[in-house]
């Protein structure tokens, strides 16, 4: 994505209002109390989903979101609030454990994410890496058996999708040269926090692409589509931790260029609707799109494999045997 294609996408592309119905379906949306997650959940409820689980770190904020969805759609009781804190592996495990008793699970939208500028550890990595990448894959692998079971029993495609970002284009990812990339990213004194969000979205993308490969090659039954979606530049509170000076200069630019959260959420609905052509793909503007040159390069493929090997060790420590879920 170069500057001109970015502005074309933001200013000229009209995203279709989702119309595909999700009747009878159970859908999980993480980070659904605000921003893109809230608007995606609202669309799912409007489009007749049976149960939309708002996976949120604050249940108070989640209840306010559920109320707003019920009021705007006229469908009370469809949005349910479940607690999930991606900075805690125990919280991810507890959430997944609760989800294992669902009758069915049709779609998981891994949407929650953070942008922070201070180095803080969450579990065994810097918090952006934990929330935007590692915990999302942990959650996904723990939910995969339910997605497979639903697919087999109801003879249908199920969908596991992630909210990625065009910012994966905006880093040369210096940590990629390290012997152990995840360990390198967890070193406080070396962390380049100004660009950490970009790196986290690149790491997330590489992990999702590898997961999609592994799901394609799995002999387990069930038809699970794995994708990652760029919602574009969207007017949300995601930059809430940036400085006052940043906001001073950023505000006019955002009001000219950014999509509304509702418009951005249409891209999440497109990904959630699935379709074989979306499996293993990076989606943007409601279609299959091209990742950065680095992601497509031989080096990118090697780094993707390396990251997955490192991640596998972490995941097996958290939940022994988890990789067998693939």
Q: Which residues bind ligand NAP (CB under 6 A)?
A: 30-31, 33-37, 57-58, 61, 84-87, 111-114, 131, 163, 165, 231, 233-234, 236-238
By C-beta, is 81 or 234 nearer to ligand NAP? 234
Active site residue 201: yes
b vs e for 127-162, b when ≥16 Cβ sit within 10 Å of the residue's Cβ? bbbbbbbbbbbbbbbbbbbbbbbbbeeeeebbbbbb
By C-beta, is 58 or 195 nearer to ligand NAP? 58
**Residue 70 CB contacts under 8 Å (≥ 6 apart), including other chains:** 45, 76, 77, 78, 79
User: One of 51, 146, 201, 282 is an active-site residue; which one?
Assistant: 201
Q: Which residues pair with 54 in a beta bridge?
A: 29, 81
Shortest distance in whole angstroms from residue 218 CB to ligand NAP: 26
| 1 contacts 169 by C-beta, under 8 angstroms | yes
Active site residue 197: yes
Shortest distance in whole angstroms from residue 154 CB to ligand NAP: 28
User: One of 197, 220, 276, 287 is an active-site residue; which one?
Assistant: 197
| Residue 52 token pair | 């939309």
By C-beta, is 135 or 150 nearer to ligand NAP? 135
| 32 contacts 272 by C-beta, under 8 angstroms | no
| Closest to 230 measured CA to CA, from 140, 291, 171 | 291
Shortest distance in whole angstroms from residue 136 CB to ligand NAP: 9
Tokens 């360990």 found at: 183
Shortest distance in whole angstroms from residue 298 CB to ligand NAP: 27
By C-beta, is 231 or 300 nearer to ligand NAP? 231
Q: Read off the DSSP letter of residue 259.
A: B
By C-beta, is 9 or 33 nearer to ligand NAP? 33
Shortest distance in whole angstroms from residue 170 CB to ligand NAP: 11
Catalytic residues, which ones? Answer: 197, 201
């Amino acid at each position: 994505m170069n500057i001109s294609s970015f502005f074309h996408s933001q200013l000229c592309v009209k995203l279709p209002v989702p119309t595909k119905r999700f009747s009878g379906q159970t859908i999980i949306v993480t980070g659904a109390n605000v921003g893109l997650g809230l608007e995606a959940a609202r669309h799912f409820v409007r489009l007749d989903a049976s149960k939309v689980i708002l996976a949120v770190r604050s249940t108070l904020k989640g209840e306010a979101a559920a109320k707003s969805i019920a009021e705007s759609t006229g469908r009370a009781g469809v949005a349910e609030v479940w607690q999930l804190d991606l900075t805690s592996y125990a919280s991810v495990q507890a959430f997944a454990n609760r989800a294992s008793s669902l009758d069915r699970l049709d779609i998981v939208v891994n949407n929650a994410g953070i942008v922070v500028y201070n180095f803080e550890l969450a579990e065994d990595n810097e918090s952006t890496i934990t929330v935007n990448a590692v915990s999302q894959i942990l959650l996904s692998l723990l939910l995969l058996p339910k997605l497979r079971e639903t697919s087999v029993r109801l003879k249908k495609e199920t969908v596991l999708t992630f909210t990625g970002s065009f910012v994966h284009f905006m880093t040369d990812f210096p940590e990629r040269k390290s012997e152990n990339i995840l360990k390198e990213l967890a070193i406080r004194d070396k962390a380049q926090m100004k660009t950490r969000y970009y790196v986290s979205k690149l790491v997330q993308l590489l992990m999702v692409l590898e997961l999609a490969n592994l799901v394609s090659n799995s002999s387990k039954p069930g038809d699970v589509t794995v994708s990652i979606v760029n919602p574009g530049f969207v007017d949300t509170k995601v930059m809430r931790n940036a400085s006052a000076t940043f906001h001073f200069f950023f505000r006019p630019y955002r009001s000219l260029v950014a999509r509304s959260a509702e418009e951005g959420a249409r891209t999440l609905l497109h990904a959630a609707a699935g379709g074989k052509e979306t499996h293993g793909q990076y989606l943007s503007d409601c279609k299959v799109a091209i990742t950065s040159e680095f992601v497509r390069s031989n080096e990118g493929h090697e780094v993707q494999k390396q990251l997955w090997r490192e991640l596998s060790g972490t995941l097996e420590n958290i939940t022994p045997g988890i990789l067998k879920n693939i």
